[in-house]
Structure 1
């Protein structure tokens, strides 16, 4: 049953991506390079959870069948999330731009188009765009029956500007 559910979720997500892959709403970085978005920009994320502007659109709503949330975030250059945790973890798929991701206690990682990141369950982390280039990311939050997200403190400028891995 679980294997069928995973296969159906994969097929549904792949079909959705194929149907909407022709929607190209450009988001521009500060260097003038237009990022190729495949989804609409969405809604501005709340200032209490983000530094700078981050735009979110939900793609797969939570329900009791799939227990998964899928969405897309566009981080403007310099924008980033607060530190946060996901009780069941999170998967990020970078679809364009350049950004950062950091797990607490580890060096900051640079992310680029095509990178896939697994954020482990109940581990504090943050992600966002680089200072001069925006970043587009899809996020997948599985097993939402365990909870979705707990927002924590802001990422300081020192943490944001920290050394890369």
Structure 2
């Protein structure tokens, strides 16, 4: 057994993969042969990820606030505290806060050959601003 203490500082996410201010708090990066990785991610209003995929899929569990999750070619969907989202392997998607509310979620994914995500281009303001379904 190993206990990972919660004394790690929050870090501001890279603008290479995020638009706006996004804070990340690592939860677990399990040692091999386990593959699980988890982060608590807090998006300030208007902040969002870039388009990306996960080789083994991703689970998002919304802890607080109101957010959006979008799939390529579709209007975004609203997600709220208590909601859980499963994103299938290879599915191009993005997620973040709404324009006027913060959102915090757990992001849980598994690594394949050391990689948990493939990052693509930033989400355009037009895609972010589409009326949610």
* Divergent runs of 4+, >2 A: none
Residues 40 and 47 (structure 1 numbering): CA distance in 2 closer, same or farther, change over 3 Å?
same
The alignment status of 1:145 with 2:104, answered yes or no, reads no
Please state whether the residue corresponding to 2:16 is helix, strand or coil: coil
Residue by residue over 1:65-101, the C-alpha shift from the partner in whole angstroms, topping out at 9 and shown as x without a partner, is 3211011100001100000010111000000001100
Q: Does the Cα contact within 8 Å between 1:78 and 1:132 map onto a contact in 2?
A: yes
Distance 1:67 1:43 in 2: 22
Distance 2:44 2:132 in 1: 20
Distance 1:41 1:84 in 2: 25
5+ unaligned residues in a row in structure 1: which ranges? 1-11, 21-38
Note the C-alpha offset of 1:44. 0.4
Structure with greater proportional helix content:
1
The alignment status of 1:125 with 2:125, answered yes or no, reads no
Residue by residue over 1:4-61, the C-alpha shift from the partner in whole angstroms, topping out at 9 and shown as x without a partner, is xxxxxxxx9xxx9xx98xxxxxxxxxxxxxxxxxx98710000111110001111011
Note the C-alpha offset of 1:145. 2.5
Residues 124 and 41 (structure 1 numbering): CA distance in 2 closer, same or farther, change over 3 Å?
farther
1:106-125 equivalence runs, <5 A: 106-125=74-93
The alignment status of 1:94 with 2:62, answered yes or no, reads yes
Higher alpha-carbon deviation: 97-106 or 112-121: 97-106
Distance 2:53 2:130 in 1: 20
Structure with greater proportional strand content:
2
Distance 1:41 1:130 in 2: 25
5+ unaligned residues in a row in structure 2: which ranges? none
